[in-house]
């Protein structure tokens, strides 16, 4: 099977999307009432980068061997666990920031 890969830097689009330009991402404006806003935004950005970096291989290619498929699935599962861990950390900071403020 033909290996199809993205031709650009995987994280470049997200870097532009989350550049914190007020006109580009209104939802990412700092909340002066939340002490962890910047860290939460960074965790979410990293989760998005992982998602963008890993999803093309899973969606567009499938290795020809059972071993290759197993490796690809393990990589996808690890990426999913990493994303879930980053989201959980962001939730903890959000919850703790609300109770501390």
- In this prediction, residue 90 has a pLDDT band, given cuts at 50, 70 and 90, of very high
Pair 61, 1: CB distance under 8 Å: yes
This prediction's pTM: 0.65
Sign of CA dihedral 86, 91, 97, 39: positive
Residue 53: its pLDDT value, please?
95
> How many degrees, rounded to 5, is the angle at CA 18 between CA 16 and CA 23?
90
Model confidence pLDDT, tens digit, residues 37-50: 889 999 999 999 99
Give, in degrees to the nearest 5, the angle at Cα 76 between 73 and 82: 140
Q: What is the mean pLDDT of the chain?
A: 76
Mean pLDDT over 91-100 rounds to: 81
Q: pLDDT (tens digit, 9 = 90+) per residue, 4-45?
A: 444 445 555 555 454 544 434 455 555 555 678 889 999 999
Q: What is the CA radius of gyration of the chain?
A: 17
* Residue position matching structure tokens 């071993």: 67
Euclidean distance between CA atoms 37 and 25, whole angstroms: 14
């Amino acid at each position: 099977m033909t290996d199809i890969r993205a031709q650009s830097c995987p994280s470049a689009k997200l870097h532009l999307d989350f550049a914190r330009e007020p006109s580009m991402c209104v939802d990412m404006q700092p909340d002066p009432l939340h002490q962890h806003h910047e860290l939460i935004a960074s965790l979410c950005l990293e989760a998005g980068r992982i998602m963008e970096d890993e999803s093309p291989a899973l969606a567009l290619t499938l290795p020809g061997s059972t071993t290759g498929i197993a490796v690809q699935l393990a990589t996808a599962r690890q990426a999913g666990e990493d994303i879930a861990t980053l989201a959980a950390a962001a939730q903890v900071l959000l919850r703790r920031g609300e109770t501390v403020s």
